Structure 1
Amino acid sequence: MSATNEKFLEACNNWDLETLYTDLASVKGKRLTPVEKLHLRGLLLGYSPAEIADKLDKDIRGVETDFSATIYRYVKGLVGKCNEKINNWRSVIEWLYEAGYKIETKNNNQQTVNFESVDMIGRIANIKFCKKKITIEIDTIEVDLLGKEQSFKNFNNSDDN
């Protein structure tokens, strides 16, 4: 694979590229070419055809013509908008999003966690890796104004004395 074909690969982080390639190939009647895939990935990352041409050191008019003759036609056929004119390349991204090719980053089995900055001194007691879950246990230490360390447990118990 040439260095050019390795560009824009980060699109696979947010888009189901394999399914999209397969579905677009069915509209086209044969597999997408490496250049078509490359241009599509650039578009899915939010680059305009002119920006894609610039990043690939290609002629802008040539890339824009390629989009009109290939990717735009295939996407219109895939999402059932064959008779619509593409006035803006961003329409392609919107249509593919609406068609379900964008990967949802939030899994129903996952919780959203908001982190807050906390000043704390501690040591990691245990780290566990299990499938897609990381658990970190931390022993915390409270530090008084004089710099004497006390364990959190001892600090709380000192109020009872």
Structure 2
Amino acid sequence: MLRLAINKQFVEAEKAFDLDRLYEDLAAVKGKGLTTTEKAYLRGLLCDCSPATMADKLNKAKNTVAVNLSNTLYPYLKMLLNRGTCRINHWRNVGEWLRKAGYERSFEPITMITTLPAQATVNIEKIKKDQLLINVNIRMIASLSPHTYYVNLIDDDE
């Protein structure tokens, strides 16, 4: 299986969190910049990946990631967030703590000028035992501002 370079893993975290500011603040706590691996682990946590999932994606032993998190990233995060003796009981706590600390990016709501059409087409595509596939086709035109956020739609019809 082809694996992505470590700095290309978990890049989705950059959409939701201010990683540059977070890296800078953690570097101040650590006394030097985060390593490429530490950055990847942090992005993985922010993408809600468990240490086991990160280990698989980064081609590392599962225990290695958990131990490295405990010895490096978790202490830096606790110092940054003034959590002192507070124990990180679960890897999911990291994203929650960083959201509460203001590292999550804020998004402006998009106001759509165009309303939904008065008519839409609905086609019943397939009827099988215990399954019905309905295809809804809505066509709309909207003016998009230069600050538009794109949403990926997933087609699960198969």
Q: What's the TM-score, normalizing by structure 2? A: 0.70
Match of 1:132 in 2: 147
Shift of 1:98: 0.4
Match of 1:111 in 2: 111
Partners of 1:115 and 1:60 lie apart in 2 by 50
Q: In proportion to residue count, which structure has more strand?
A: 1
Shift of 1:76: 0.4
Match of 1:42 in 2: 44
CA deviations 1:114-137 (Å, max 9, x no partner) are 9756438xxx9x99776336xxxx
RMSD: 2.9
**Which one has the largest radius of gyration?**
1
| Bigger RCO (CA 8 Å, 6+ sep) | 2
Match of 1:87 in 2: 89
The percentage of aligned residue pairs carrying the same residue is: 40
Match of 1:62 in 2: 64
Q: Unaligned stretches of 5+ in structure 1?
A: 134-161
Match of 1:4 in 2: 6
Partners of 1:38 and 1:81 lie apart in 2 by 22
CA deviations 1:27-86 (Å, max 9, x no partner) are 101100010001100110000111100111110111101100111111100110021111
Partners of 2:143 and 2:112 lie apart in 1 by 20
Shift of 1:21: 0.2
Partners of 1:113 and 1:74 lie apart in 2 by 46
Partners of 1:7 and 1:28 lie apart in 2 by 23
Partners of 2:38 and 2:75 lie apart in 1 by 12
Match of 1:26 in 2: 28
Partners of 2:23 and 2:89 lie apart in 1 by 23
Partners of 2:115 and 2:50 lie apart in 1 by 35
Shift of 1:113: 8.0
Shift of 1:3: 1.5
